[in-house]
Amino acid sequence: MPLRALGNTGVKVPIVGLGTAELGRPDWKVAVAVVRRAVELGITYIDTAPTYGRTRSEERIGIALGGARKNVFLTTKTLERKRDGALSELDQSLKRLRTDHVDLWQFHALRSDDDNDAILKKGGALEAGLQAQKDGRVRYLGITGHYDPTVFRNMLRQQRFDTLLIPLNCIDPWHRSFETTLLPYANNKNVGVIAMKVYCSGRLPKDSIVTAEDCLRYTCGLPAATTIVGCQSVREVELVAHVARNLKPMDGDERKKLRAATKPHSPDLEWYKRK
């Protein structure tokens, strides 16, 4: 599995990671099989959050990893904006994940400068992150969201973070683009960029606008450290691993063609962005 540097952390991660928002829904045995197969295939970056499946995603990852925990780069998140609430949520996540630390802890779903201010102020969640880093419960800190790229530029102007999890796909450039505005800015600051929404919440392949493989090739060709892909079955994991291992970079004409195919559907399909 090809690897890329995660910003200035000194860590290299696989170019595709496992998104687990859907793993709270299928049978727990299916979820466990998905995680284990991903790790077998070299997809060792695993992304989760307490809200995924109402904590079931974290629980199932904890079951699946077992002795393989040391072989993965494990991440989770918090929606809490205050120090005490965030620390309490972190401890619950660690318990469900059956580990004493996560590699990356992220302040989740930033939507406005009010979120930024709440996290950064005295008694805010950033204090929890810094304390958790100091005592070894967390290695790196990041921020996530898909609402408005301006919010993240404003945050990064005020506070250094190790990573940034944002939507990057072939429909993104047409409306409030993270690719054309925030991605170069983050790269210039050497922040590790993690891509999500590669299929635009599944709509691009589901509606036969762009194939899943072309979606993956497009996003994996961007200057991001890794691309998180949600998988609900072992078959889907195997497709992602195959594309990543045999990645054929798109030329400029191919990228333009894909973007053109998505233009009539923007911004309607991007429900997660500010209109």
The residues that are catalytic are 52
Nearest 5°: CA angle at 60, between 54 and 65?
A: 145
Tokens standing for 124?
């805010």
Count helices and strands (H / E) in the chain. 11, 10
Tell me the C-alpha distance between 74 and 225, whole Å: 15
**CA 179 → CA 148, 165, 195, distances in Å?**
12, 12, 10
Q: Give the type of residue at 99.
A: T
The helix-helix angle for 212-220 and 252-262 (nearest 10°) equals 120
Backbone angles phi, psi at 47, to 5 degrees: -115, 130
Q: Check: CB of residue 196 under 8 Å from CB of residue 229.
A: no
Q: Give the type of residue at 31.
A: A
Tell me the C-alpha distance between 204 and 190, whole Å: 30
Give the Cβ contact number of residue 275 at 10 Å.
8
Tell me the C-alpha distance between 119 and 108, whole Å: 10
Strands 12-14 and 3-5, bridge-based pairing: antiparallel
Nearest 5°: CA angle at 3, between 209 and 49?
A: 65
Closest CA to 164 of 176, 146, 137, 180: 146
